[in-house]
Amino acid sequence: MKRLFLSTLLVFALACGGSAEPGTGEGAEGTSGATESEGETSVEVVREDLAEGESTEGETAGATPTETEGAEAQAEGPPCSTSDDCPDGTFCIGPEGCDVQWTCQPFRPCTRDLRPYCGCDGQTFQSSGTCPERPYAHRGPCEG
């Protein structure tokens, strides 16, 4: 009976594209399997097997940056300008705008896709599409 159960479990795991151990086999990329809805920007899952700067376009977790940024900005936490200002296990995050105080919040996974942001200093910088590294005036390159 035990052998039948284990065989059934193995067949099910292989049919789903997963593997018996985390971090091995076809399911090791860290994809969520979620899809992107029309008109919604989805959060991509961080893949540990990617080199810096590689994109995971198309792999989504279903949450949007705007759904999470506002709530995090209002949460209590020490003020910050960059994640270097924050204690271990936290990072600096906040909403769009240069007149908004960012705060240190508990770490959450960020995408490794690089997107342009117009920094509050008027200089364009590239950072994660879900966790920009510092306060910014707006998404996209600076004009002029």
Cα of 55 vs its chain's centroid, Å: 12
For the entire predicted model, the pTM comes to 0.48
Q: Which two tokens stand for residue 27?
A: 């399911």
- Asked whether the predicted pLDDT for residue 25 surpasses 50, the reply is no
Q: Which two tokens stand for residue 74?
A: 């209002």
Neighbour count for residue 121 (Cβ, 10 Å): 12
Sequence-separated (6 or more) residues with CB below 8 Å from residue 62: 32, 34, 42, 43
**What region does 58 belong to: left with phi over 0, alpha with psi -120 to 50, or beta?**
left
Q: How far apart are CA 122 and CA 118, in angstroms?
A: 6
Residue range 59-107, pLDDT digits in tens = 434 444 444 444 444 468 999 988 999 999 999 999 999 999 999 999 9
Q: How far apart are CA 17 and CA 14, in angstroms?
A: 5
Q: Given CA atoms 28, 41, 128, 130 in this order, what sign does their dihedral have?
A: negative
First to last CA, the chain: 71
8 Å CB contact between 12 and 27: no
- Asked whether the predicted pLDDT for residue 45 surpasses 60, the reply is no
Q: What is the pLDDT of residue 7?
A: 59
Backbone dihedral angles phi then psi of residue 10, each to the nearest 5 degrees: -65, -45
Q: What is the pLDDT of residue 128?
A: 93
Mean pLDDT on 16-20: 46
Residue range 94-142, pLDDT digits in tens = 999 999 999 999 999 999 999 999 999 999 999 999 999 899 999 999 9
- Asked whether the predicted pLDDT for residue 56 surpasses 50, the reply is no
Q: What is the pLDDT of residue 124?
A: 97
